[in-house]
Amino acid sequence: MTAVVVEGLQKTYGSHEVLRGIDFTVTEGEIFALLGPNGAGKTTTLEILEGFRGRDKGRVEVLGLDPGVPGDSRQLRERMGLVLQDIAVEPYLSVRETIARNAGYYRAPRDVDEVIELVGLREKRAAKVKDLSGGQKRRLDLALGVVGDPQLLFLDEPTTGFDPSARRSAWEVVRDLRASGTTIVLTTHYMDEVQALADSVAVIADGRIVESGTPATLGGRDSAFARIRFELPPGTEVSDLPVRASTATEGALVTIEVEEPTAVLHSLTDWALRRGTTLQRLTVERPSLEDVYLEITRSFEREPSQQSVTARGHRPNRSRS
């Protein structure tokens, strides 16, 4: 089942065309990450899906409803949860009072204390909102997003300002929500967060979706070349190696790029052992999600207008660069 359908979505602010025909779908029960550089239009897209912002053109369906239609939008409020970048809360209410007050807006909210527990704010339940730290405030935002027991949860940069351990806890909360059947639409600038959470990913640049897939396949990552690196053993030359090193040296390291590294590694290690030596600092790596993401978005920063037409064709082959 599909939770969200977006087709040909367009939005212009004045003369600034922010969305120039966005298409994507979110499957029910998945965590979908919408990525893109600052100002790419992620928040605008989310706000359109949430019914807080109108669209100029295109089809948008959220849980079978059109957030652009007032009646549908009201129904959606009951069925979706939001964790926004800046949420207005009463500074003099306590954490528990704030969550309880929000719970009152829904017909079938979750238990308030269970939600406090879920987001790790038990010790701060009596603290006033104004006395919370930045990270604790974001946890409260998360609590407010989930207290209505939403079918669909929007998370706009949910862990910005969290310390590493709080991020891990927030990820656990998000995974638990997915396990309980909640569909989650997420924006984030942290690629480790995408790797840890997302089932599918779409990247917005230059007003369009320029890449989509899973964290493992985005931008051809799964078929990218593996990069083998090691230190040339003392007294040997690159030409002595049993395989051709495509790049002579990178710093002090020899670099070899191959599609499938098993056989090459075998012949390299065999060669080294026969010579009674070792391959110091040996590593085998494929591009990380961050490498791939940066390459996708950088190529759009270079030639925005041309790139938008034939995005794939213009990008250099990241697996070999």
Ligand X SMILES: Nc1ncnc2c1ncn2[C@@H]1O[C@H](COP(=O)(O)OP(=O)(O)OP(=O)(O)O)[C@@H](O)[C@H]1O
The verdict on 13 binding ligand X (CB under 6 A) reads: yes
We find the least distance from the C-beta atom of residue 39 to ligand X, in angstroms, to be 4
Task: Verify binding: residue 15, ligand X, rule CB under 6 A.
Answer: no
Indicate which single residue of 9, 18, 119, 209 sits in contact with ligand X (rule: CB under 6 A). 18
Rounded to a whole number of angstroms, the minimum distance from the CB of residue 52 to ligand X is 11
Nearest approach in angstroms of CB 188 to ligand X is 9
Q: Which CB atom, from 41 or from 261, has the smaller least distance to ligand X? A: 41
- Which lies closer to ligand X via its Cβ, residue 86 or residue 237? 86
Q: How far is the CB of 21 from ligand X (least distance, A)?
A: 15
Q: Classify the phi-psi angles of 163: left when phi > 0, otherwise alpha if psi is within -120 to 50, otherwise beta.
A: beta
Q: In the 3-class helix/strand/coil scheme, how is the chain assigned residue by residue?
A: CEEEEEEEEEEEECCEEEEEEEEEEEECCCEEEEECCCCCCHHHHHHHHHCCCCCCEEEEEECCECCCCHHHHHHHHHHEEEECCCCCCCCCCEHHHHHHHHHCCCCCCCCHHHHHHHCCCHHHCCCEHHHCCHHHHHHHHHHHHHCCCCCEEEEECCCCCCCHHHHHHHHHHHHHHHHCCCEEEEECCCHHHHHHHCCEEEEEECCEEEEEECCCCHHHHHHCCEEEEEECCCCCCHHHCCCCCCEEEECCEEEEEECCCHHHHHHHHHHHHHCCCCCCCCEEECCCHHHHHHHHHHHHHHCHHHHHHCHHHHCCCCCCC
The answer to whether 210 contacts ligand X (rule: CB under 6 A) is no
Stretch that binds ligand X, among 22-30, 31-39, 227-235, 257-265 (CB under 6 A): 31-39
Smallest separation (angstroms) from ligand X to the CB of 218: 18
CB nearer to ligand X: pick between 44 and 183? 44
With CB under 6 A as the rule, give the number of residues binding ligand X. 10
CA–CA gap between residue 201 and residue 186 (Å, rounded): 9
Residue 194 as a binder of ligand X (CB under 6 A): the answer is no
Taking the complex as a whole, the smallest distance from the CB of residue 43 to ligand X amounts, in Å, to 3
Binding mask 32-71 for ligand X (x = CB under 6 A): ----x-xxxxxxx---------------------------
Cβ atoms within 10 Å, residue 8: 14
Q: Is 159 in the site for ligand X (CB under 6 A)?
A: no
- Is residue 299 a contact point for ligand X (CB under 6 A)? no
Which of 48, 174 has the CB closer to ligand X? 48
- Distance of closest approach, residue 132 Cβ to ligand X, in angstroms: 22
Q: Residue 151 interacts with ligand X (CB under 6 A)? A: no
Q: Which is nearer to ligand X, 44 or 159 (CB)?
A: 44
- The token pair that represents 307 in the structure block: 């790139």
| Binding site residues, ligand X, CB under 6 A | 13, 18, 36, 38-44
